[in-house]
Structure 1
Amino acid sequence: MAPGSGTRPERRGQPPGGWMVLAALALLWVSHAQGGGKPGCPLCRTPTLAPGTERSFLLELAQRQILKKLHLSERPNITRPAPRVAVINALRRLHARRDGLPEPFTTWHSPDADELAYEIISFAETEITSPSGTALRFRFSQGTGRDVHILQAQLWLYLPAQQIGRAQVTLRVSLAGALLDEKRLEARAGGWHAFALLPTLQGFFRRQETMLRLELECHGCHLNATAGSNSSSSHQPFLVAKATVREAGQRVAKRSLRCDQNSNLCCRKDYYVDFRDIGWDDWIIKPEGYQINYCVGQCPLHVASSPGMASSSHTAVFNLIRAHNTQTGGQSCCVPTRRRPLSILYFDRHSNIVKTDIPDMIVDACGCS
């Protein structure tokens, strides 16, 4: 990912231990689903989060899970980080293959075994179209019969510091005249800025197009510098995305379906946690985030008690909630049936670089208990 900045709140206090953390957060989930004086969906049918609460709920869950499984009472306070050159050199040595060539720590796995996972980085071809406008073109190769699912997409633009002129500048990104994102920025600050592109890029790949053309308007700044008209410029605009690709005809496992608007049966809902959003990008080196997927949906009798359903802490959590919720009756719950570890590279409190695999962090498939 490109460089970014943001607040880095320190997290203090002792998180509850074991599966009680999940129980507390799951109970919070239920309170959101059934709050506001209106009867919510019965638990273990279609638990939902109130609008605007999903993000805060999942970010809190991610923080508690990582700290607990790393046996940390709080996030490390990095006061004297190692020099960047030293870190890069250490990572190069850590990931060197037997033949001596580097193997970057950028590999990640798709939630489904029959999907291929990709990280896409595309640099823009630029063309100045007016004193305040420029066109950004991104080219992609698309094969026929491929189902591309975009998990995350951002456009990164560099704004040079303005020594004269306005106190603020406005950057607008549009597609075919439709505004996608807009930011008002302090002109003297400068730096890299990200613009959200997930729905736009998902629609682009769904239409099987090969060239994405965005319009950039910059009011109050020098657009030549912002657009990085020199192709060798280190400030050239670029697009970065995470995606999974499924080839045509590949089988989809019945119990690992992604949630969509066409079904309310037990399914896996995907959510990407970016460590910058919780201020943890200063001590977690790699990855930049991870999929904190969760299970949601109805469990009718004909899919309940699926063969091979393994007991887990998630099952215990929802059983605890069901015991305190008379609406659920004896109906089974939609819970994880397959999980995998998260590989993580981070600074400890002594600024040592540590690499480890945190077990059972990413939900791959869901089923009915």
Structure 2
Amino acid sequence: EPMSPSRTRLHFQFSGMQDQDIHLLEAQLWLYLRVPRDLVANLTLSVFLAGEEGDLARGNRTLLGERQLSAKGSGWWTFSLMPALQSFFEGEHRTLWLDLESIVDRGNNMAVINANRSHQPFLVAKAKVQELDHHVAKRSLRCSQNSNLCCRKDYYVDFRDIGWNDWIIKPEGYQINYCVGQCPLHVAGSPGMASSFHTAVFNLVKANNIQASGHSCCVPTRRRPLSVLYFDRNSNIVKTDIPDMIVDTCGCS
């Protein structure tokens, strides 16, 4: 006889995306199912979406999908959240609440969420993100064909091209970006283009013919981490955030 549903509540915070237009290309929920050794567990897993915590408490939720699983031993499972999740990003909410319900046949105990940090559920998403015009800072400007001043050059690297696809599971590549362009003194001395106020003052000193040595270079002024899913040396699936992998803005040093 099937057991009564086992319920788990998850939430994911998407900070810093209030002024961005997000178009999802792919979205998968990764869950670690713990099953007693040498046992095959058959279960039905349902995933529901709600914009706020209170909506879940009132039962106001939307079914994203349902999947029949046959799990032999503990391991990771993926659950596609497309295309239903796109509607969430088209709204005003930036905290994603998911309600999981699992029904296991024959009374087998199964934990959807493992207590260990390495086994916590997580989302893997691929999206096109466009900042709204009024939110783009001057130092965030992408390079144009008509300017040779310091700017951010968009560049996508495919992990297959550098031989990393044999150990990195997700993503398949990412927007690495880099900084390029000239930093003449009248530009490098501007607080909006200099990498720091110290740099702005120092470049103004040089621009006014006061004795000082050194040249200004176009360098990254802000970077973001990249979430990576990969196999470690023991063939375990690991999720980690690698800092300073994505160049967001550029300025003159």
State TM-score, norm by structure 1. 0.31
**Whose helix fraction is larger, Structure 1's or Structure 2's?**
1
Higher-Rg structure is 2
**Whose strand fraction is larger, Structure 1's or Structure 2's?**
2
